Amino acid sequence: MESLKNENEKHSLNIPSFFPLAPFNFPAMVPLWMFPLACVAGNSFVLKPSEKTPGASMMLADLATKAGLPEGVLSIVHGGKQTVDNICRHPTVKAISFVGSNQAGEYIHEEGSRHGKRVQANLGAKNHACLLPDAGREATVNAIVGAAFGAAGQRCMALSTLVAVGETKDWIQDIVEGGKKLKVGCGFDAGVDVGPLISTQSQERVFSIIDKAVKDGAQIPLDGRANGKVDGYPHGNFVHPTVLSNVSTDNIAYREEIFGPVLVCTEPVDTLDDAIQLINANPYGNGVALFTASGAAARKFTHEIHAGQVGINVPIPVPLPMFSFTGNKASIRGDFNFYGPRGVHFYTQLKTVTTNWPIDDSTSLGGVIMPQMGKNT
């Protein structure tokens, strides 16, 4: 087609409707990853919050309305499994964003995809910290205490696993001391560092994992089960900071995402290479952190590790909004990551436009074009 001047353009257009499912632990942040981008891209948005924490979504919707979001653009529904099924099957739903557990997320990805929806699902995690001896000891220990026990370990980016390289195995004792000093209690009370878990079932599950872990050979230099209840909150679902050490990779505490204030220290390793091998063998790939002063170690780790979020001396490396929250391995289903450039891609639909404007339409293209079998060009 030599006589044609073609031009390609790309257009990103909106998906008419879309449906997110938000988790209990970040009931405001996670919806804010989603609906502002989705609505700015021209979609209407229906939000189904966790049935455990429906309040934050209602407040966000109220604020959005006050800020002038047109009626009908953002809606909220509450519900359980039947609601989820309706979302996955309804013909006007074009896309589904989900953050939560593996089981729910894999079901939604499969059911939604089968019904032609675009689905992104952020799932489970097991985030490792790798310690090198040249890191600043005090700063590193403080960072890990905060990242392992903060939010009572109930976040997908909690730094819940520690791989000590060489002499840094001695730093675990510092972490134990740091964990002991944290005050457990009601999150609304002054001076409290570690609040309760979301439910009694969660508390019981965490205790059960610790029990089994110790029974299967893990050491427990800091035992959060043994600590007393919190005064004034006899029914609080508290778990005190816990450190398990010398945990083998087949121990339940290593295999499962605990979602409580429990730091799992693997058997120490001798080299950075060993640590990278151990971490890469884990099925999850959400976040990871290396503590070091060395530019060379940082580059090697960054290049070789398989994880979506990599922190160098940053314990919880959640990307800034101009980047995307990237998952890897079993921590994600769907290709477009949350927020940032990939989030914009998720909430828009790509078109590619090719135009031909012959200068004189009255002069025909001259003969039938049969671009087959290599005989026409």
Amino acid present at 1: M
Residue listed under structure tokens 């740091």: 178
Q: Residue 344 corresponds to which tokens in the numbers above?
A: 């914009």
Q: Where do runs of H (alpha helix) occur along 150-251?
A: 171-180, 200-215
Vertex 98 angle, CA 94 and 102, to 5°: 130
Q: In this complex, which beta carbon is closest to a copy of itself, that of residue 27 or of residue 178?
A: 178
What is the number of alpha carbons within 13 Å of residue 90 lying toward its C-beta? 16
Q: In this complex, which beta carbon is closest to a copy of itself, that of residue 110 or of residue 267?
A: 110
Residue 156 annotated in active site: yes
Choose which of 21, 311, 338, 347 interacts with a copy of itself (CB under 8 A): 311
Please give the full DSSP string across 229-248, using - where no structure is assigned.
PPTT-TT------EEEEEE-
Which candidate, 268, 235, 228, 224, places its Cα nearest to that of 249?
268
Vertex 319 angle, CA 314 and 325, to 5°: 125
Choose which of 71, 228, 350, 377 interacts with a copy of itself (CB under 8 A): 350
Select which of 39, 88, 130, 156 is catalytic. Answer: 156
CA distance 275 to 127: 13
Segment holding 87, helix H or strand E:
helix 81-89
Residue listed under structure tokens 């099924």: 85
Q: Is 13 in the site for a copy of itself (CB under 8 A)?
A: yes
Q: Is 82 in the site for a copy of itself (CB under 8 A)?
A: no
Dihedral sign, Cα of residue 56, residue 57, residue 58, residue 63: positive
Q: Pick the piece of the chain touching a copy of itself (CB under 8 A) from 7-15, 36-44, 201-209, 251-259.
A: 7-15
Question: Closest separation between CB of residue 364 and a copy of itself, Å?
Answer: 4
Q: Which of residues 98-127 bind a copy of itself (CB under 8 A)?
A: 106, 109-110, 113-114, 116, 118
Choose which of 97, 326, 343, 348 interacts with a copy of itself (CB under 8 A): 326
Whether the CB-CB separation of 335 and 118 falls below 8 Å is answered with: no
Q: Pick the piece of the chain touching a copy of itself (CB under 8 A) from 57-65, 73-81, 185-193, 213-221.
A: 185-193
Question: Closest separation between CB of residue 211 and a copy of itself, Å?
Answer: 26
Q: Which of residues 203-262 bind a copy of itself (CB under 8 A)?
A: none
Choose which of 31, 195, 196, 224 interacts with a copy of itself (CB under 8 A): 195
Q: Which of residues 152-171 bind a copy of itself (CB under 8 A)?
A: 152
Q: Is 335 in the site for a copy of itself (CB under 8 A)?
A: yes
Q: Which of residues 260-299 bind a copy of itself (CB under 8 A)?
A: 292-296, 298-299
Q: Pick the piece of the chain touching a copy of itself (CB under 8 A) from 166-174, 206-214, 252-260, 304-312.
A: 304-312
**DSSP assignment, residue 151?**
G
Question: Closest separation between CB of residue 328 and a copy of itself, Å?
Answer: 6
- State the catalytic residues: 156
